[in-house]
Structure formats: C-alpha cells, structure tokens
C-alpha cells in the first residue's frame, strides 16, 4: 500500500522548502512529499496552479494531506482541490495545524502506513484548541 502524500503550502518559499527538508530528514523517502510557496516575482504569496502541481507531485492513492500556513494558503488550496475535482478531490484534506510541526507529525504517521483520516487526525492534535 502506498503512503499518504504530504503537501506543504506556505506564503514563503523558504518556509515551505525548509519544512519539506525537515520532513525528508525525519521520515526519508517513504512519504510522497511536495511543497510550494511564494509568488512568481519571488515575494510572499500562494498560487492555485502551483498548489495543484504540488498535489500532483505528492499524489498517492491513499490520499494527500495539505498543510498551510495562513488563510490565503488555505483559500487557494481549497480552490486547487475544487479545480482538481472528480474522485481525487475527495482524497485531499487540508490540515489546520502548525505547518512545521503538523507536517513532521503527519509525515511520521504516514510513513507507518496510516490512513488519510489518521494522518489528518495526528496533525489536528497539534492545532490550538
């Protein structure tokens, strides 16, 4: 069985890349992983197209957990999932959790073969009440 994929979406490309690097060092290559962040000019922002591409890179039949940093990243991730549509969209979940801790914990859970529901629940445990 393939492991759940993890996508990291940050307004900062450096935050997204650094978080992905941390995940890779902690869980290795067992988890499909992608990240995106920033705008085309190198500034802060998120883009629907880039998020869709990241989801494609991290795609797993087991599903994909998307971790976001701020409201705009969540909104653009929701639009990306809507545009992906079809049966795939039902296997993509946005996690409202701290981006770094959430990504590491979600990936750790995914590396053990956990379901999308379990991966998302683990990330959500870190969210403030």
pLDDT at residue 1 is higher than 80: no
Q: How many CA atoms lie within 13 A of 105 on its CB side?
A: 19
Q: pLDDT value at position 28?
A: 92
Give pLDDT, residue 96.
85
Query: pLDDT by residue (tens digit) across 77-115?
Result: 999 999 999 999 999 999 989 999 999 999 999 999 999
Domains of the chain (ranges, CATH numbers):
5-124 (3.40.50.510)
* pLDDT of amino acid 94: 97
pLDDT digits (tens, 9 = 90+) for 5-34: 999 999 999 999 999 999 999 999 999 999
Q: What is the pLDDT of residues 26-85, one digit of tens each?
A: 999 999 999 999 999 989 999 999 999 999 999 999 999 999 998 899 999 999 999 999
CA nearest to 5, candidates 58, 81, 68: 58
Catalytic residue among 4, 6, 8, 11: 11
Q: What is the C-alpha separation between 61 and 59, in angstroms, rounded?
A: 7
pTM for the model: 0.95
Active site residue 11: yes
Q: Which token pair is 109?
A: 């859970």
64, 70, 55: which is closest to 15 by C-alpha?
Answer: 70
């Amino acid at each position: 069985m393939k492991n759940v994929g993890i996508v990291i979406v940050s307004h900062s490309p450096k935050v997204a890349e650094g978080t992905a690097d941390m995940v890779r060092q902690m869980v290795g290559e067992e988890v499909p992983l992608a990240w995106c962040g920033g705008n085309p000019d190198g500034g802060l922002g998120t883009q629907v197209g880039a998020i869709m591409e990241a989801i494609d890179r991290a795609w797993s039949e087991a599903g994909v957990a998307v971790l976001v940093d701020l409201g705009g990243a969540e909104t653009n991730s929701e639009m990306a999932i809507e545009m992906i549509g079809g049966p795939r969209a039902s296997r993509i979940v946005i996690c409202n959790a701290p981006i770094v801790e959430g990504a590491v914990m979600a990936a750790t859970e995914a590396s053990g073969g956990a379901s999308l529901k379990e991966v998302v629940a683990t990330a959500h445990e870190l969210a403030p009440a």
